Homo-oligomer: A and B are copies of this chain.
Amino acid sequence: MKPEPLSYDTAPPASQAVIDDIKQTRKVEDVNDFWKYLANDPVTMKRTWESVKEVMQPGALDVLTKEMLYLAVSITNSCTYCIASHSAAAAKAGMSKEMFGELVAVVGMANETNRLVTAYRVPVDKAFGG
């Protein structure tokens, strides 16, 4: 049972409709491979795309900030594909090489101090609701 990507022609109609919407929304000629794999499961594909579209649209946070948050999570989870695709998306949204460098530094530092806090068993400060 090795999942295989589906081309547009071999995808179920429900998945084709999602692909069409992604292309139109993002103004791209083709979708990322992630969606071609997810096309095997039209229900999950539709729900995921609608959620991503809602969550990633500009709101109280702009698109660049959202993409960088996505990238920070993906680095922490060691998701290589996600790092690659969201590095590209963040760059498209305006992330410079210097901003990427600082993002990585913050992510590294947060992962380090998270463990210092845990190791020393620090209870939450009263001022922060502890």
Contacts and interface: CB of A to CB of B under 8 A. Distances in A.
Interface of A: 1-3, 5, 32-34, 37-38, 40-41, 43-44, 47-48, 51-52, 54-56, 59-61, 65-66, 68-70, 72-85, 87-88, 90-91, 95-125, 127-130
Contacts of A128: 2, 84-85, 87-88
A84 B121 CA distance: 8
A114 B111 contact: yes
Contacts of A113: 34, 48, 52, 82, 108
Residue with the highest number of chain B CB atoms closer than 10 Å, among A32, A88, A96, A124: A124
Majority SS at the chain A contact face: helix
